[in-house]
A and B are shown apart, each in its own frame.
Chain A
Amino acid sequence: MKTITHYLLLCAIAVVCVFPFWWTLVTALSTEGNIFAYPPTFWPQKPSLDNFIEVFNAIPIWRFFRNSVFIAACTVFWKLVLCSAAAYPLARMQFKGRKLVFGLILATLVLPSEVNFLVNFITVTKLSLVDTYTGVILPNVVNAVAILLLKQAFEEVPQDLIDAARVDGASEWIIFSKIMLPLIAPWLATVGILTAVEAWNEYIWPSIVMSKPDEFPLSVGVLYLRGTFGSSTRVIAAGTVLTILPTLAAFLFTQRFFMRGMDGAVK
């Protein structure tokens, strides 16, 4: 009896969480009937993929898709390289100024980064990076959360391994790249996945930096449908579905990483 109420509660909340997605999917698949019909239909009417084809004809969605993949891949790559490099000395080396550097990095967590957009826009303009992917990617590749997570990962590696390598005359670079990085691979994967989803979903900053529609990522490009298809809700819904699918797929396949990664973040 207790289990049944438990499940009922879970289902009710799940419906609230997932319903907007379901309704969008139903709308995208329907070709008939009034979208805002009373009573609304929760099942596609005359289902077909016509609306999706319409999306492909209306906006360069493949281009948007490619742009998003490119942005996400570059962001993930550079974030893993730069943040793991920064995390390593913070975790495993004693040097002057370590505490100060660490404090500065922590401080970026409290300062509202949303506010940085305005001056970063000036900076990116001055560096002539407007309308370039470098301009979209660069401000996002270093972040405190990633450095903190990776620092924690490095701290778990046994000191003996490092000492042995140092005695053998290995340079810090060799120790870092050949010994440490492979050992923290699961953590790199976690940070990578989180970053990929974040970069894929990033909306405001790319819409500030990019002005040529051809170069928009999917998250920005999908809003274009609202402009060109102001009235055709079904096409907009189809575009929306196409935008979510990759994130949903990525999320479902890597769910275990996600949850475990979060596990580490709190401990």
Chain B
Amino acid sequence: MREDDGARRRLDFAAWLFLAPALILLAVFSFWPVAFGSLLAFTDYSLIRETHWVGLDNFRYIFDNEMFVTGLKNSLLFLLMVPFVQIGALSLAVLVNNKLPGIRYFRAAFYVPVVTTVSVVGIMWGFMFHEQGTLNYVLQTLQLVNAPVGWLSNDTIALFAIMFVTLWRGLGWYMVMYLAALQAVPADMQEAAILDGANRWQRFWKITVPMLRPTIMICSVLSVLAALKAYQEVDVLTQGGPMNSTFTGLYYAYDQGLKHLKLPRALAASFVVSIFCVGIALLCLRYIRPKHR
């Protein structure tokens, strides 16, 4: 018995030894920021002065600030993209889930935007969206517009242009997730349905979609969170302009915190965005948890 206890304890010790380095880093760079950041949002922290508790001052400041309020609205507007990304990615996955010659190259082509640096994405789409850029040329040639559109310089359009770029970048990623799930759908189920005379459309709705349910749920939640947290594309395409119209909640935090070094305000802003994220994540978990049979 005694020996067993010793062995048990040695194993426990070994387990913690294996985990320790990773846990320490997670504590420092993931848990600490959340805890400490939430506290600092209620102070006037700066790297050079003594820190005082200021209660809700930072929150009052940001909610009185038009940039942040616009940002929050824009972050919510970004949610409009979620159905487009998800339906688009699922359709794409169905489209490439075929044993056609050369299909691998199409999959690769659709995935290429995913593996491109955001700074490069910013430069390329800067070209595309230029007033005399390719996009306007194509649209004018097709006679869809009759004057060049200021994709990034018009304050009602710029945000949608940025949303389109995030869509362009995101499709491939979700496509791969759906593709993997599609390939896990057992072939014999499809064959049985074909024998029963089900057509393509019926098979898709009655077999494929129910089988994909967990993946659809996970991808949708991830995509909602990603939409709320969008800001990198803003940084490389418009930096919040024109006339602050493309600020998002998190871009405001980034701008205040790391460009103007107003950390408490930035933390208050990211606190608000996080609340949205956690709230939505909890809501989703509550409603999409697989039902018990």
Binary per-residue interface labels of chain B (1-45) against chain A in the complex, 1 for a CB within 8 Å, 0 otherwise: 000000000011011101101110110111111101100100000
Query: Is B213 on the interface with A (CB-CB < 8 A)?
Result: no
Residue A164 interfacial (CB < 8 Å): no
Is B172 touching A115 in the complex (CB atoms < 8 A)? no
For B277, give its contact among A13, A112, A141, A259 (CB under 8 Å): A112
Q: Which of B25, B32, B110, B273 contacts A14 (CB 8 A)?
A: B110
Contact with B along A243-259 (1 / 0, CB 8 A): 11001100110010011
A121, B37: Cα distance in complex, Å:
11
Return the contact of A21 from the options B15, B112, B132 (Cβ within 8 A): B112
* Size class of the A contact interface (CB-based, 8 Å): 35 or more
Residues in A with CB closer than 8 Å to B23 are 86, 101
Q: In the complex, what residues of A have CB within 8 A of residue B266's CB?
A: 118
Contacts of A142 in B (CB 8 A): 22, 25-26, 29-30
Q: How far is the CB of A172 from chain B (nearest CB, A)?
A: 4
| C-alpha spacing A204/B119, complex, angstroms | 9
- Taking a contact as CB atoms under 8 Å apart, the answer to whether A121 and B258 are in contact is yes
Which B residues are in CB contact (< 8 Å) with A89? 14-16, 18-19
Q: Name B119's contact: one of A83, A197, A223, A266 (CB within 8 Å).
A: A223
Would B31 and A104 count as touching, CB distance under 8 A?
yes
A83 and B32 contact, CB distance less than 8 A: no
A233 to B111 CA separation, bound complex (whole angstroms): 26
Is B111 in contact with A88, judged by CB distance below 8 angstroms?
no
A186 at the interface (CB under 8 A from B): no
Within 8 A of B (CB), among A50-91: 82-83, 85-86, 88-90
Taking a contact as CB atoms closer than 8 A, the residue among A82, A120, A171, A265 that contacts B22 in the complex is A82
Report the Cα distance A244→B22, complex, angstroms. 31
B278 CB-CB contact with A under 8 Å: yes
Do B29 and A116 touch (CB < 8 A)? yes
Q: How far is the CB of A132 from chain B (nearest CB, A)?
A: 15
B134 contacts A23, CB within 8 Å?
A: yes
CB-contact partner of A251 in B96, B111, B271, under 8 A: B111
> Chain B's nearest CB lies how many Å from the CB of A54?
16
A263 CB contact (under 8 Å) in B116, B124, B180: B180
Task: Indicate if B241 sits at the interface (CB-CB under 8 A).
Answer: no
Q: Which A residues are in CB contact (< 8 Å) with B96?
A: 10
CB of A203 within 8 A of CB of B267, answer no
* Option from B14, B25, B117 in Cβ contact (under 8 Å) with A219: B117
Is A200 in contact with B258, judged by CB distance below 8 angstroms? no
* Nearest chain B residue, comparing its CB with the CB of A263: B180
A123–B33 touching, CB < 8 Å: yes
**Inside 8 A of A237's CB, which chain B residues have their CB?**
123, 127
- Do A119 and B267 touch across chains, with their CB atoms under 8 A apart? yes
A93 is contacted by which of B15, B184, B278 (Cβ under 8 Å)? B15
Q: Is the CB of B179 within 8 A of A201?
A: no
Give the contacting residue for A172; candidates B14, B33, B257, B281; CB below 8 A. B14
Residues of B within 8 A of A40 (CB): 134, 137
Is A108 engaged at the interface, CB distance under 8 Å to the other chain?
yes
- With CB as the reference atom, state the residue of chain A lying closest to B121: A20
Which residues of chain A are near B19, meaning CB under 8 Å? 85-86, 89-90, 101
In the assembled complex, B104 has its CB within 8 A of some CB on chain A: yes
B115 at the binding interface (Cβ < 8 Å): yes
Asked whether B57 is an interface residue with its Cβ less than 8 Å from the other chain, the reply is no
With A82-B21, A115-B37, A116-B34 as known contacts, state yes or no: A208 contacts B119, CB within 8 Å. no
* A-side contacts of B177, CB under 8 Å: 262, 265-266
Interface residues of A (CB under 8 A from B): 3, 6-7, 9-10, 13-14, 16-21, 23-24, 27, 36, 38-40, 82-83, 85-86, 88-90, 93-96, 98, 101, 104-105, 108, 110-123, 125, 138-139, 141-142, 147, 171-173, 176, 197, 200-201, 203-204, 208, 218-220, 222-223, 226, 233, 236-237, 240, 243-244, 247-248, 251-252, 255, 258-259, 262-263, 265-267
Q: Which residues of B contact A (CB under 8 A)?
A: 11-12, 14-16, 18-19, 21-23, 25-26, 28-34, 36-37, 40, 47, 92, 95-96, 98, 100, 103-104, 106-113, 115-120, 122-125, 127-128, 130, 132-134, 137, 141, 168, 171-172, 176-177, 179-181, 183-184, 215, 225, 228-229, 231-232, 235-236, 250, 253-254, 257-258, 263, 266-267, 270-271, 273-274, 277-278, 281
Q: Which 8 A-B pairs have the closest CB atoms?
A: A36-B132, A86-B22, A119-B33, A89-B15, A116-B33, A95-B15, A20-B124, A115-B270
Can you name 16 A-B pairs with beta carbons within 8 Å? Answer: A3-B100, A17-B171, A21-B124, A23-B124, A85-B19, A90-B19, A101-B19, A111-B274, A112-B250, A115-B34, A116-B29, A120-B33, A122-B47, A142-B25, A197-B115, A201-B115
